[in-house]
A and B are shown apart, each in its own frame.
Chain A
Amino acid sequence: MPLGKLESGVSAARPNINPVIQQDALADLDSAVADFERDQLLWASGYLAGLAVARATSPAQRPVAPAEAPAPASSTEPAAPWTVLYATETGNSRFVAQELAEAMSAAGQTAKLVDARDYRPATLKQERQLLLVVATHGLGDPPEGTEAFFEYLLGSRAPRLPQLSFAVLALGDSSYEDFCEAGRQVDARLAELGAVRLLPRVECDLDFESDADAWTKRVVEQARARDGVHIAPVHTLRAAPTAPSYSRRHPFQAELLTNQKLTGRGSSKDVRHVELSLEDSGLSYQPGDSLGVVANNPAPLVEQFLEYLGESPSADVSIGQEALTLGEALRSRLELTNATRSFVQAHARNSASADLAALADDPRALAKYLKSNQIIDILRQYPAALSAQQLVASLSKLTPRLYSIASSLDANPDEAHLTVAVVSYTRDGYAHFGAASNFLAAGPSTVPVYVEPNDHFRLPQDSAAPIIMVGPGTGIAPFRAFVEQRRHQAAVGKSWLFFGDRTRRNDFLYQLEWQRYLKEGALTRLDVAFSRDQAEKVYVQHRLRERGAQVYAWLMDGAHVYVCGDAEHMAGDVHQALLDIVAEHSGRSADHAVSLLSDLKTQGRYQRDVY
């Protein structure tokens, strides 16, 4: 169907409904399912999807099927291949997608795993069965580096996709206003383009694992159902990538070698340099990768929960089927700081609070509230006489935290270094703790870790290419790895670091090392912005602007630009600064700047790792 028609088919009354179906047909369908429970609706959607597939396989119904489309499933032919596409920034979606691909292979399906950043959108037309795992970042934005895919899919160039069956798993964090927005958009748009939804979209919160597992199971079941009774022989088109031996599920117990405070006595912050041993783990990483830390909750925080409950740590509770003590559950199993929407809902019930229930239903208010309220704050603000089990049941699973690796493995064999800002503050008279950062700062003898690769935050292949690194605060971490790596390689490429923090005196992370690298030439330039060293606030973007002419000259000279650190303000401000710099110094329009930066992104010359 031509695009124009598609658009005109959108009825004003029901703009969000799939336009491939006629208004009255849709009304019939609505009434047919009007009495269905949620589960029944879900089942029906799968049923209908099955019908669709069955019809699509009859030759008469396949006018748009591409020539190389796989043969219809039958008991004698191999099943149609699946593409598992993920859009990730911090690796969760990749993790889920990997497990899915493996499960599909194990079930005899042919499954190909692809990163949305590497995916050529034009191949969508050829896809038959697409499974998408999509994370949301920024403020409801797609993950860094996947913009091109999203622009194509959501834009007017996207083709009709009636041949396609799909399912979307959306990853997000309900403490953001635009929960799972990227996943929602992909899901809606594919349907809009005529693709057939195999399963309703599932939205996962921070504790995505159990929902993702359940979804994976259902996808596999669907795949089997689509094959009919046939059990395909166990073979895969392409071996699913070998999962690292250690993962978020099976972290490596890394020995803590160093836990050194980096901020001076007069600092208002506590930032740690943490060195971990990877000896005998077989783990390896590249500069740009992160380390996942599977922390235990800090003891004083667990204490606050026990106090709230008035329970002893030895009380019996269960998580799912597993029986364990309350102390153990709070210490190592449950998320005690970051609240999710489902926790807010559960606690609204437990505390019989209409206010809290209303809050859970207002994404904007909820997002704002959760930004500065931890679980313990919610418990205190909405007191409830909870049993230990009630509380445990309302909490989600403890999620690992990521930290950019601050070292080069070549320069520090068998080690991984982190730069950790310790989250701790007092509110309403209570000490508050960030779970993982305090776990690390307390100096445990071992730290459970896994490597979270980030292929989209990499030094240039060409070690002679200049690099510009913008890393205020703990954003400095990967750049320590970059510079160590380039120094180790005796790379000739110029390097320019922009760092910022509160004061030069006490917050200049790795100051002595930068001074040495500058002297040695391993670092070509260093510009610093210390916001509290003068009356007016100065940040890295101001320094970039001050040096605009040279920044532009470096860019024209082939420099790669890296930005790491705060996502909320910094990344946007730096982006704007770069746009303005390009516009000003190229002497061309703002549009030119936009397209130049987006070209740089596409070429991998503008990479960001922001959190």
Chain B
Amino acid sequence: MSDPSNKPVTEVEDIKARSAHLRGTLAESLADPVTGSIAPDDTQISKFHGIYQQDDRETRVERTKQKLEPDYSFMIRARVPAGICTPAQWLALQQIAADHSNGELRLTTRQAVQLHGVLKGDLRTTMRRINDALLDTFAACGDVNRNVGCTPLAENAEVHRRASRWAARISEHLTPRTRAYHEIWLAGSPLPGNEPEHEPIYGATYLPRKFKIALAIPPLNDVDVFAQDLGFIAVERFGKLIGFNVAVGGGMGMSHGEPATYPRLADVIGFCSPAASVAVAEAVVKIQRDFGDRTDRKHARLKYTIDDRGLDWFVDELGRRGVHLRAAVPVDFEQTGDRFGWSEDSDGLWHATLYVPGGRVVDNEKTRLQTGLSAIARILKGEFRITPNQNLIISRIEDTQKEEIQRLITEHGLDLWRDAAPVRRNALACVALPTCGLAMAEAERYLPQFIGKVEELLARHGLSEQDLLVRITGCPNGCARPYLADVGLVGKAPGRYNLMLGGGAVGARLNQGYRENLSEERIVDELDRLLADFVGNRDSGEPFSDYLHRAGILESQPHG
């Protein structure tokens, strides 16, 4: 544990402090014609605006020889609170992607949308067009509260409507106030009026680190509420949303070989009314603002603040800030995966949950998601909802449109969920190579192949219908929340992964490191052996992860 008192704050803290409320030298960087990149300091500031500088890692060496700088481009993340967007917004995003990015929208594990491969010269136009579509990218990244997630589909439409509205309110309330975003991207010049800016919630240096909030509506824990800095679990009585259980201190990210970093499940600390959720969120954010470790970015998330000072301290601190929670209400979760296909809600509206492999909205031999979804968007009277599993729901379809939409789904091959085995359609992988600068191994591009191997294994052991949750990330940051999977592969080096086993209990149990630095062959061997063991010795109906714990193959953990 580090001692924040006598260590200097990180460089990023200085950059934020110097940035004049998130302006930095972004305007100058955009105007610099000699490079497709922005100034190093600005790469920190741009994140707050939803923009990551990336470069094509595959051509780095080649381009150095060509005396060309790395192939810089930008990833833009549009914020979509609760994952809900209108058909018009969807169409606009698809068009913007076609015009200014690599052409593919990418649905994220936090229900947002990413564009990859936007060139510096196109940034401003892209940002303006996103704004014209009544979306923004502000605070989609950076040391602030991120896109607020919410279970995108509930049988009780009223509960979903209310929960998602609270998600949007919290998101709105925690959005930074600086005019920098407007100035740099929309106006293109400083705005008139020079009254000093004030960030009532964040202050001039914002948070020590990113901050994440999501709302889960049981029995679904698709948002992985225990992986959030702050989780709200909807509590329903007599068909109404009566409040939320509050969970704090979750997080996935860790670093290889640094035991002081670790994934952590959020602790449920009480219950609040729906209307109090905004105040709770603000108080939690402010505690993190005041006590989070600004001297070490690897130790700056709320989970470490809580572990360093204790959960009791945290609850007391909330109390000191006027937030008093009631006792949590018991709730049950049943699954983390999406419910694919058609379902009807209490309003009598229909929802079609589509399986979107890798979250990529593409046209290829198997499916024409791009064409099909724009065709649907042009007629849909309902809305689109992005799931925390990178999938898409065509939502609130009226009876009168159901048939036509079904026809469009079939016509464009959007019904991939039908043929995909559970293990495939529930699996999750992060972006990783080639765009993610932190990736150590493949993830999204590798997932289909690995799932193929797992399918073979399952078939061989007569387990084809087994609902095994497989998640792969290209590094230990955990963007696809791999530490909650039955089988987690965490990238270590090209073609090498740490094999994590034993999670998968509706997102309430972390898995454990089983073997390190394995090749695919070794992973398949290990799984083969374990599955054989499992088939021979399981109790009836016993899940694979539970068996691993019971059989002592993994040590049992307090959580779970």
Interface residues of A (CB under 8 A from B): 260-265, 273, 504-506, 508-515, 518, 526-528, 533-534
Contacts and interface: CB of A to CB of B under 8 A. Distances in A.
A515 B66 contact: no
B119 A505 contact: yes
B69 interface: yes
B71 A264 contact: yes
B1 interface: no
Closest 4 pairs between A and B when the two form their complex, measured CB to CB:
A512-B67, A528-B33, A510-B67, A511-B68
Q: Which of B34, B35, B59, B69 has the most CB of A within 10 A?
A: B34
Q: Which of A263, A273, A511, A513 has the most CB of B within 10 A?
A: A511
Contacts of A514: 34
A263 B59 CA distance: 12
Given A264-B59, A265-B59, A518-B34, A273 B67 contact: yes
Nearest to B70: A512
Interface of B: 33-36, 59, 62-69, 71, 119, 121
A495 to B, nearest CB: 14
A528 to B, nearest CB: 5
A527 to B, nearest CB: 7
Given A265-B59, A533-B121, A505 B36 contact: yes
Contacts of A261: 66
B69 A511 contact: yes
Nearest to B35: A515
B121 A534 contact: yes
A506 B68 contact: yes
A504 B67 contact: no
A262 B62 CA distance: 10
Contact of B64 (A512, A518, A528, A534): A512
A262 B36 contact: no
Could you tell me the dominant secondary structure of chain A's interface residues?
mixed
B68 A512 contact: yes
Contacts of B66: 260-264
Contacts of A526: 33-34
Given A264-B66, A508-B68, A512-B64, 6 more contacts: A260-B66, A261-B66, A505-B71, A509-B67, A512-B67, A533-B121
Nearest to B119: A505
Given A527-B33, A528-B33, A512 B69 contact: yes
A264 B63 contact: yes
A260 B63 CA distance: 11
A83 B419 CA distance: 90
Contacts of A534: 121
B120 to A, nearest CB: 8
Q: Which of B36, B66, B69 has the most CB of A within 10 A?
A: B66
A534 B69 CA distance: 20
A58 B71 CA distance: 79
Contacts of B68: 262, 264, 506, 508, 511-512
Nearest to A518: B34
B239 to A, nearest CB: 55
15 contacts: A260-B67, A262-B67, A263-B66, A264-B59, A264-B63, A264-B66, A264-B68, A506-B68, A509-B67, A511-B67, A512-B67, A512-B68, A515-B35, A515-B69, A534-B121
A415 to B, nearest CB: 16
A260 B36 CA distance: 22
Contacts of A509: 67
B275 to A, nearest CB: 50
A506 B59 CA distance: 12
A534 B66 CA distance: 24
A578 to B, nearest CB: 21
A464 to B, nearest CB: 25
B100 to A, nearest CB: 12
B121 A260 contact: no
A257 to B, nearest CB: 14
Nearest to B59: A265
A504 B121 contact: yes
Q: Which of B33, B63, B119, B121 has the most CB of A within 10 A?
A: B33
A291 B248 CA distance: 71
A121 B218 CA distance: 97
A527 B32 CA distance: 10
A505 B70 CA distance: 9
Nearest to B125: A534
